[in-house]
Amino acid sequence: MTFASAPRTRKPAPRKIRTLIVDDSAMVRKILSIGLGQDPEIEVMGAAADARVAMQYLVKDRPDVITLDLEMPNMDGLTFLRGLMAKAPIPTVVISSQTQRSAQATVDALAAGAVDVIAKPKMELGGGLNDMMQSIADRVKVAAKAQVEQTPMAPAQVEMPRPSFSTAPTAAPTIAPDWLIAIGASTGGVQALTAVLQSLPADTPPIVIVQHMPEGFTGSFARRLDQTCAMQVREARDGDVLQTGHVLIAPGGLCHMRVQPKGDRLAVELVEGPEVCFSRPAVDVLFKSVARHAKGRVSSAILTGMGRDGAEGQLAIRLSGGRCVAQDEASCVVYGMPKAAYEFGAPEKLVPLSEIPSWLMASCPSAAAPAGQESYRV
């Protein structure tokens, strides 16, 4: 007796990441459409010249990812993004030029819910453009997996004077004067860092941060944080001494940031070098220098982000005697860097973003130190 063979069934092809390009430049739309369309995992569903045309696309269909220019006629990209995130959030990657005006708008967009920022591709032929398009395609694919949440419509940001924070003494014990906090973040980090830093008091130990961001944007990010945080926040400069109540953010660009002794203190050093974990500045470079020179007197945190940067560095901090935590999956935009660190055995625990500030402060030991201690000392 013979039996008919069962028909072979083919697995359906994986669904492509449907992407909507929004940019007022016809050349940029063309470059992005061709470049993203060549990736077998991405489908370009449309290219809109402004936000109004983009909304017409959204009425008909919903993309998985939007790439968004911010400087456009009729309705600017930031206004469009805020409306989108308030009603029907879609992972959005900002494609921004590096002018000061664009950098500020880009940081506002990231704070409003955009998951990533990429420098606008230059109109040049050759391998440089091909490499850039590969990077953009990779970022689009990461963005498609991002957890974006609905956010209330916020008014346009205006420059405000620094708020007055109470400096009255409290009953809390004084934190040891030679303690340090180190933080690493990437995709989704603008919102995460804002939430963490705004919750910390003015007398928090010095904080050093690597946030993956293209050159030209970290200065605007630091200025934005400085307006709303009790601590002083700015982009780091080579030679800056670490001080209580001060936050130093590594500048995007060609340099890594690390700490090194400067007399009896620790200071920031900016050094050129190749990318580490596809990043420059890299969290690993900063964390490994902290592990080497802070002698275990450090609390570290790895927040939301793509990739593995920071995992090895945080493990080095833990092995040196430092304290280590990472953001949990549920509160991450992208659970890449914290997951890698956890798999390395680096963080002591995973905690929600809302608990990171209290964990950091609780991890700093108290000491009978005089009030007003200003500088981190070795």
What residues are labeled active site? 186, 212, 309
What DSSP character marks residue 192?
A: H
Neighbours of 234 (CB within 10 A): 16
Q: Is 98 exposed, middle or buried (0-12, 13-18, 19+ CB in 10 A)?
A: middle
How far, in Å, are 149, 207, 246 from residue 225 at the CA level? Answer: 21, 13, 12
* Degrees, nearest 5: CA angle 37-42-48: 65
Comparing CA positions, the residue from 348, 5, 298, 340 lying closest to residue 186 is 340
Contacts of 28 (CB under 8 A, 6+ apart): 69, 95, 120, 121
Contacts of 78 (CB under 8 A, 6+ apart): 70, 105, 108, 109, 112, 156
Strand locations in 3-64 (E): 17-22, 42-48
Give every strand in the sheet of 246-249, ordered side by side. 232-235, 246-249, 207-211, 180-185, 298-302, 323-327, 350-351
**Residue 148, token pair as written in the block:** 């974006």
Q: Is 155 exposed, middle or buried (0-12, 13-18, 19+ CB in 10 A)?
A: exposed
What DSSP character marks residue 50?
A: S
Comparing CA positions, the residue from 63, 50, 57, 66 lying closest to residue 15 is 63
* Residue appearing with tokens 């630091």: 222
